[in-house]
């Protein structure tokens, strides 16, 4: 059992890992963490070289790091094939017949791929790509549902040195075009469709629509996921090929050639402050080392674990913590195709019980949805196989943290709240589950080799509990190498604030113990009467109220205070909203944070506008409260009706 201690000064709960957990964990004590952290910061080259040596290299590097800000080269002169560490090595280390991926489709079918089978599939697909004329450094777009073939496609690209760019299956044809144009892809790998909430997402059809605008695609390889009238597919002769037909024509043997450590591995698009997505470029050796080491230490992956990361491969979390990191560790993982609430909110817990998941990694937004759905879902399943929980993507509000800890983790599982970004490639700030005391809401301490700090506008480190910009002062192996095709934007976005220092774009504060509290994107930080206030803080306060399931807070110009606070609130099912309740919530926020944080306006809404990946689209809410309407690109919005309903409410 992890036990909690009341911290008398702050009233916050501190959770310490249970002795039984620590005993078997890789990092067992804070003293061990501190010693290793110190060494990793003083001699990063030595620390990271030790980690990298655990991977498969065909030629050893001559220098661990070459740094000429803002450009890093890791493991200079080294040569490797990323696929060998993720797949081939397991054929000779006793894991050949171990399950690599246990997949469940949304309708309920299940499939297991051992490392040996995964190897055969990856080699076969690598040969298919080669037969299509794909060469090293060519860009290949992947637009697939959550099936093992998505992972196979990524690994096969890596194997032949092609650069994959995965697009989340929830993105529209328009978004595909933008990305295709930016990276000038030569081929697309897709599926006839995928299941999501009982419906078929017509992926190939979206690709066809995109290809009416982008003409440089030479081949489209289509995996048959659905194979029925539910997903009718038109194949264009000479351009479109069925995966299974091609597989029948090529060999399942492929020898992995080595590429330079700095060979491009993938481009992943992420949103920036402008409308144009940024193509974040990661390279082979450093990225693999970072994802491998973080899985090993933060998820404490052991040979008998069953690990499940609920992210989609279309996001960085799916890249780092489904495909590369876990496979390089030789773990068994669960992969699930569909929605958490199909057929109901018990689905995730059914999967945990069925496959005896021991490490579970998900997003706070999902946790809040589960809270709203009701405790009976997890309570009616056996979740005793779980030993470690993780969260990622946004600050987790203490209420959600506590619910996760008690209802899912049975108060026995440590929770790792992992802070990182598409750009950082791997987790940067997180508890280590066997040693770090955690308090709900903080991602705690930097990972090995991560020189994180919080700076003020002048570049000085701020004092305890003062807010500032979160930065990383030293290069790390899995850092982005550039924004594809836009070096200027790379410099402007990340390196211009302080010379030689990476600016993450997040606001944060550090408490007296050194724990990092991420307050959210700096563009979401409000300044109310001269006080800095994270929208995340106000949201967390609102969500701490018993009627609130979820909330989003944005700023609005205010004559006197500079910025006023507008809160959008979703209440738990079955609860009636009223003006009195709005008043009560204002008081409640005032009570938790201080009068300064009381929202000026509260709007109740049955749902918040979200991207299909579950991120709240605050940009839309800001625009809505500022102008009463939404003009920008809303192609990534999950449910368009949410916006029109809110617009109506604001008009009234």
Q: Which residues bind ligand PRX (CB under 6 A)?
A: 270, 316-317, 392-395, 417-422, 443, 504-506, 518, 520-521
Structure tokens at 136: 């090293």
Least CB distance to ligand PRX at residue 602 (A): 24
The answer to whether residues 450 and 487 touch, using CB atoms and an 8 Å cutoff, is no
Measure Cα distances from 195 to 198, 200, 413 in Å.
6, 5, 32
Regarding beta strands 139-143 and 187-191, do their DSSP bridges make them parallel or antiparallel, or are they unpaired? parallel
Select 192 or 312, whichever has its Cβ closest to ligand PRX. Answer: 312
Least CB distance to ligand PRX at residue 548 (A): 19
Least CB distance to ligand PRX at residue 353 (A): 27
Burial of 12 (0-12, 13-18, 19+ CB in 10 A): middle
Select 84 or 506, whichever has its Cβ closest to ligand PRX. Answer: 506
Select 415 or 642, whichever has its Cβ closest to ligand PRX. Answer: 415
Least CB distance to ligand PRX at residue 179 (A): 15
Least CB distance to ligand PRX at residue 446 (A): 13
The answer to whether residues 414 and 385 touch, using CB atoms and an 8 Å cutoff, is no
Select 260 or 394, whichever has its Cβ closest to ligand PRX. Answer: 394
Least CB distance to ligand PRX at residue 520 (A): 6
Least CB distance to ligand PRX at residue 420 (A): 5
Looking at beta carbons, which residue is closest to ligand PRX?
Answer: 422
Select 422 or 605, whichever has its Cβ closest to ligand PRX. Answer: 422
Least CB distance to ligand PRX at residue 395 (A): 4
d(CA 435, CA 189): 43
Burial of 67 (0-12, 13-18, 19+ CB in 10 A): middle
CA-angle at 291, arms to 285 and 292, nearest 5°: 85
The number of C-alpha atoms within 13 Å of 649 and in the hemisphere containing its C-beta is: 17
> What's 396's DSSP letter?
P
DSSP string across 344-386: STTHHHHHHHHHT--EEEE-HHHHHHHHHH-THHHHTS--TT-
115-131 and 148-160 are packed helices; what angle lies between their axes, rounded to 10 degrees?
60
The answer to whether residues 480 and 288 touch, using CB atoms and an 8 Å cutoff, is no
Least CB distance to ligand PRX at residue 366 (A): 13
Select 486 or 600, whichever has its Cβ closest to ligand PRX. Answer: 486
Select 168 or 370, whichever has its Cβ closest to ligand PRX. Answer: 168
Structure tokens at 139: 């860009």
Select 243 or 361, whichever has its Cβ closest to ligand PRX. Answer: 361
Q: Dmax over Cα atoms in the chain, in whole Å?
A: 72
Select 85 or 515, whichever has its Cβ closest to ligand PRX. Answer: 515
d(CA 613, CA 270): 12
């Amino acid at each position: 059992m992890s036990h909690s201690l009341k911290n008398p000064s702050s009233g916050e709960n501190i959770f310490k890992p249970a002795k039984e957990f620590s005993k078997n964990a890789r990092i067992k004590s804070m003293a061990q963490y501190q010693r290793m952290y110190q060494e990793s910061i003083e001699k990063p080259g030595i620390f990271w070289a030790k980690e990298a040596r655990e991977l498969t290299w065909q030629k050893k590097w001559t220098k661990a790091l070459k740094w000429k800000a803002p450009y890093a080269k890791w493991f200079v002169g080294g040569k490797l094939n990323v696929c060998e560490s993720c797949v081939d090595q397991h054929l000779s280390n006793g894991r050949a017949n171990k399950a690599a991926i246990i997949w469940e489709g949304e309708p309920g079918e299940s499939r297991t791929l051992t490392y040996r089978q995964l190897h055969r599939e990856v080699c076969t697909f690598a040969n298919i790509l080669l037969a299509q004329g794909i060469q090293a450094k060519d860009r290949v777009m992947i637009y697939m549902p959550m099936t093992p073939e998505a992972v196979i496609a990524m690994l096969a690209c890596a194997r032949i040195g092609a650069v994959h760019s995965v697009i989340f299956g929830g993105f529209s044809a328009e978004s595909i075009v933008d990305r295709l144009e930016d990276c000038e892809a030569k081929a697309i790998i897709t599926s006839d469709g995928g299941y999501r909430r009982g419906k078929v997402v017509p992926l190939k059809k979206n690709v066809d629509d995109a290809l009416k605008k982008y003409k440089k695609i030479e081949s489209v390889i289509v995996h048959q996921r659905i194979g029925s009238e539910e997903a009718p597919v038109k194949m264009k002769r000479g351009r479109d090929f069925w995966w299974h037909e091609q597989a029948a024509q090529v060999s399942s043997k492929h020898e992995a050639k080595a590429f330079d450590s700095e060979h491009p591995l993938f481009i992943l698009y992420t949103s920036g402050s402008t409308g144009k997505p940024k193509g974040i470029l990661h390279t082979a050796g450093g990225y693999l080392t970072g994802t491998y080491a973080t899985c090993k230490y933060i998820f404490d992956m052991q040979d008998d674990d069953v690990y499940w990361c609920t992210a989609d491969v279309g996001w960085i979390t799916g890249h780092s913590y489904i495909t590369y990191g876990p496979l390089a560790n030789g773990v068994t993982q669960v992969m699930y195709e569909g929605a958490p609430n199909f057929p109901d909110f018990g689905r995730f817990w059914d999967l945990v019980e069925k496959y005896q998941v021991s490490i579970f990694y998900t997003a706070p937004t999902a946790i809040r949805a589960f809270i709203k759905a009701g405790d009976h879902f997890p309570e009616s399943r056996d979740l005793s196989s779980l030993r470690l929980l993780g969260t990622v993507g946004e600050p987790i509000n203490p209420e959600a943290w506590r619910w996760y800890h008690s209802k899912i983790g049975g108060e026995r599982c440590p929770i790792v709240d992992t802070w990182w970004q598409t750009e950082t490639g791997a987790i940067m700030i997180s508890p280590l589950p066997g040693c770090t005391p955690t308090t709900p809401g903080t991602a705690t301490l930097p990972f090995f080799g991560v020189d994180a700090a919080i700076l003020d506008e002048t570049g000085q480190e701020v004092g305890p509990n003062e807010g500032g910009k979160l930065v990383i002062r030293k290069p790390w192996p899995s850092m982005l190498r550039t924004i594809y095709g836009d070096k200027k934007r790379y410099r402007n976005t990340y390196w211009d604030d302080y010379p030689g220092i990476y600016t993450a774009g997040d606001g944060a504060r550090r408490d007296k113990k050194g724990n990092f509290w991420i307050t959210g994107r700096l563009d979401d930080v409000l300044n109310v009467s001269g006080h800095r206030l994270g929208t995340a803080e106000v949201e967390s306060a609102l969500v701490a109220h018993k009627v609130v399931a979820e909330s989003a807070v944005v700023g609005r110009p205010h004559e006197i205070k500079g910025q006023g606070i507008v809160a959008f609130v979703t209440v738990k099912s079955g609860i009636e909203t009223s003006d009195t309740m709005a008043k009560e919530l204002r008081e409640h926020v005032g009570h938790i944070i201080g009068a300064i944080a009381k929202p000026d306006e509260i709007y109740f809404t049955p749902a918040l506008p979200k991207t299909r990946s579950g991120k709240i689209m605050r940009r839309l809410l800001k625009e809505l409260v500022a102008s009463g309407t939404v003009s920008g690109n809303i192609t990534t919005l999950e449910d368009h009706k949410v916006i029109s309903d809110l617009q109506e409410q604001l008009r009234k």
